Amino acid sequence: MTKQELEKLAQENLEMAYVPYSHFPVSAVLVTDDNQVFTGINIENSSYGLSNCAERTAIFKAVSEGHLHFKHLFIAGHTDEPISPCGACRQVMAEFFAPEMPITLLSDSGETKETNLSELLPYSFTEKQM
């Protein structure tokens, strides 16, 4: 899939979000090194703290099917500015993503931000410190 198609998929996938409490859908599209595509959405729970973010849903889906190497993550939300991933998701990304792996943040306005983990979570805790 092209970058444009992956961005469109991330935006269309917002409708899959299970968000009865926040009404704030988030969508993620994760591309593996061998070009497989995993989608994720946020999945909320009546016990709010058990909710799972879209980014972690996509990562856990891919890892649970044996994929450990990734080349691009797209994140979408109905936001005016490019959506910003939460700190918990950034830490989970640090487990699997190379620091310079592209992460594209999307918005409803059409504005996008190209970033990576070295910007989103510098000096992160990884296995290298253990």
Under the rule (CB under 6 A), what is the footprint of ligand THU? 19, 22, 24, 26, 42, 44, 51, 53-55, 85-86, 89
User: Minimal distance in Å, beta carbon 34 to ligand THU?
Assistant: 26
Select 32 or 52, whichever has its Cβ closest to ligand THU: 52
Minimum distance from CB of 30 to ligand THU (Å)?
13
Helix (H, G, I), strand (E, B) or coil at 1: coil
Whether residue 7 lies in the annotated active site: no
Backbone phi, psi, residue 43, to 5°: -125, 105
Report the alpha-carbon angle 93-96-99, nearest 5. 70
DSSP for residue 33 = T
Question: Do the strands 37-41 and 113-115 form a parallel or antiparallel pair, or are they unpaired?
Answer: unpaired
**Which of residues 53 and 59 has its CB atom nearest to ligand THU in the complex?**
53
| Residue positions annotated with a catalytic role | 55
